[in-house]
Amino acid sequence: MPNIIAVVCASYGLAQSVCDGEDLPARAERFFRSDHTNNWAVLVCTSRFWFNYRHVANTLSVYRSVKRLGIPDSHIVLMLADDMACNHRNPKPATVFSHKNMELNVYGDDVEVDYRGYEVTVENFLRVLTGRLPPSTPRSKRLLSDDHSNILIYLTGHGGNGFLKFQDSEEISNVELADAFEQMWQKRRYNELLFIIDTCQGASMYERFYSPNLMALASSQVGEDSLSHQPDLAIGVHLMDRYTFYLLEFLEDIHPASQANMNDLFKVCPKSQCVSTPGHRTDLFQRDPGSVLITDFFGSVRKVEITMETINLTVPGIPLERFGGEPHTETALAYVDQLPVAQIIHQKPKQKDWHPPDGFILGLWTLILLVFFRTYGIKHLKHIF
């Protein structure tokens, strides 16, 4: 079979292609204000012990805002280094308050903590960011972002010039963090990334960033300490840090359709309120901060398109069926008997084995006997032996 094969060869060099733009309909314009299709949040509290209550409260208040604005739990990686709500020193168990007089309980009833307690380590944090997790890690512990994800990363704890302390035993340096973000960029694991840090000397942590599309905010400059907001006399510890307190106040006014932009966020907590000077870094970010909405990072506003085309699969002429009065011959469903209550109620009490009295009781008896004989004289001892 003779063929006339016309060969069409198209060569594409991978680094040089020039394309000219096209006209944009208005709908496409709105579609493209931001390039992201989904949102992720990684919220980390790095310090443990009861007196660091405020760090857990910081993280939980950001978690609450982010959930309220629409990011689902499946897209939030929450790492809390200690459990304050069920801490035995908590006078109000199952609550974490962010405001004195216990106005706002940020713990709520649907908190989903992904990394808890001693799982919050530098290694796990870097593994979550870079994606190098062991294959057995469940989905809820992974950051499954893609090249159109906007990620919010919030870190809080105790820090210093160029490092952040994890769990009182290890630290992450700003170079490691910058390298981790570069790894994320190499694999295009984010579209844009907002990094917020509320620690002492927080601005040092974003000094070393060098990957594109990063915006960073910190609660204090190098050489300054971030201060806590106010103690609660009933709970006995400081409840929040100043920067996150005013950040939470700002975020409570944001709703999913809000048009507030990043310039408003930069103004949160000026020096008069915060005592430290908050800083921000936008030189690596491509868009102008004034055109970046708060909900681009804190919320999850989905891009939606109307489905115009459908495929015609129906065979014409068959109307919609109605089942009407067909008798259902289904067997009645019942729950399997899970708790044999009848057996438990009529059960005889189990015979408990006899154990000899333990040390405490023995010691107490000995003490009483000794006191008796000391008081009344040793001659009574012969009545015993």
Partner 1 sequence: TTVTGTRGRSAAVAIAALVIAAGIPLWWKTTETYRAWLPAARISELEALQLELRVEVEVVFARGTLSPEQQKKVPASRITYESCCKSKSLCLVEADHALHTLTETSCGSVVIYIIPEASALLPQDMRVYVGRSRTALLRSQVASVVGAGLPEVLAALDPQMEQVLQTMSFNHQDVTAALTDRLRPGLSTRDSLADSMRAFKSSPGYEITFSLLNPDPKHHQLHWDVEAALDAYIYPLLHKMAPVANFSVDSQILYYAVLGVNPRYDASASAYTLSADSLAHVINPVEARLGSNAASSNPVLNFLLYVPDSLHSPLIIRNDQKQEVASNAFHSPRWGGIMVYNVDGAYGNDTQFPVDIAIDMSRVMGVFLSQLRLMLGFQQTGAPPGFVLEAAGREGVAEWELDRLLWSRSVENVATASASITSLAQLLDQIANIVINDNIAQQVASAVTALQAAVAELEAGNLALALEHSREAISASERAFFDPSLLHLLYFPDDQKFAIYIPLFLPMCVPILLSLLKIFREVQQHRAEKRAKRD
19 binds partner 1 (CB under 8 A): yes
Binding mask 134-153 for partner 1 (x = CB under 8 A): x----x--x-x-xxx-----
* In the complex, minimum distance from the CB of residue 79 to partner 1, in angstroms, rounded to a whole number: 16
309 binds partner 1 (CB under 8 A): yes
Q: Which amino acid does the sequence have at 270?
A: P
Count CB neighbours of 208 within 10 A: 15
Question: Which of 56, 122 has the CB closer to partner 1?
Answer: 122
Q: Figure out which of the listed residues 91, 272, 308, 335 binds partner 1, where binding follows CB under 8 A.
A: 308
Among residues 45, 200, 269, 274, the one annotated as catalytic is 200
55 is catalytic: no
Burial 303-328 (b: 16+ CB within 10 A, else e): eeeeeeeeeeeeeeeeeeeeeeeeee
Question: Which of 10, 345 has the CB closer to partner 1?
Answer: 10
332 binds partner 1 (CB under 8 A): no
For partner 1, how many residues bind (rule: CB under 8 A)? 82
| CA 172/CA 175 separation, integer angstroms | 8
Question: Which of 19, 342 has the CB closer to partner 1?
Answer: 19
CA separation, residue 208 to residues 29, 215, 326 (Å): 35, 12, 71
| CA 135/CA 149 separation, integer angstroms | 22
Interface positions, 199-258, toward partner 1 (CB under 8 A): 256-257
158 is catalytic: yes
**CB within 8 A of 298, min separation 6: which ones?**
65, 66, 69, 71, 152, 251, 254
* In the complex, minimum distance from the CB of residue 101 to partner 1, in angstroms, rounded to a whole number: 31
DSSP string, 162-192: TEEEETTTEEEEHHHHHHHHHHHHHTT--SE
Binding mask 276-305 for partner 1 (x = CB under 8 A): ----------x-------------xxxxxx
* In the complex, minimum distance from the CB of residue 18 to partner 1, in angstroms, rounded to a whole number: 7
6 binds partner 1 (CB under 8 A): yes
* In the complex, minimum distance from the CB of residue 29 to partner 1, in angstroms, rounded to a whole number: 9
Question: Which of 26, 341 has the CB closer to partner 1?
Answer: 26
Q: Figure out which of the listed residues 102, 133, 260, 284 binds partner 1, where binding follows CB under 8 A.
A: 133
CA separation, residue 239 to residues 46, 96, 231, 275 (Å): 16, 8, 6, 17
Q: Figure out which of the listed residues 259, 272, 307, 351 binds partner 1, where binding follows CB under 8 A.
A: 307
Question: Which of 121, 276 has the CB closer to partner 1?
Answer: 121
28 binds partner 1 (CB under 8 A): yes
Find, among 259, 269, 133, 279, the residue nearest to 205 by Cα. 279
Q: Figure out which of the listed residues 35, 168, 225, 264 binds partner 1, where binding follows CB under 8 A.
A: 35
321 binds partner 1 (CB under 8 A): yes
**Torsion sign, CA atoms 317, 321, 327, 332:** positive
* In the complex, minimum distance from the CB of residue 40 to partner 1, in angstroms, rounded to a whole number: 13
Run of H or E including 383: helix 381-384
Question: For residue 34, how many C-alpha atoms fall within 13 Å in the half-sphere facing its CB?
Answer: 28
* In the complex, minimum distance from the CB of residue 88 to partner 1, in angstroms, rounded to a whole number: 32
* In the complex, minimum distance from the CB of residue 37 to partner 1, in angstroms, rounded to a whole number: 5
**CB within 8 A of 235, min separation 6: which ones?**
53, 90, 91, 92, 97, 102
Backbone angles phi, psi at 90, to 5 degrees: -85, 115
Interface positions, 65-104, toward partner 1 (CB under 8 A): 70-74
Please identify every residue annotated as catalytic.
158, 200
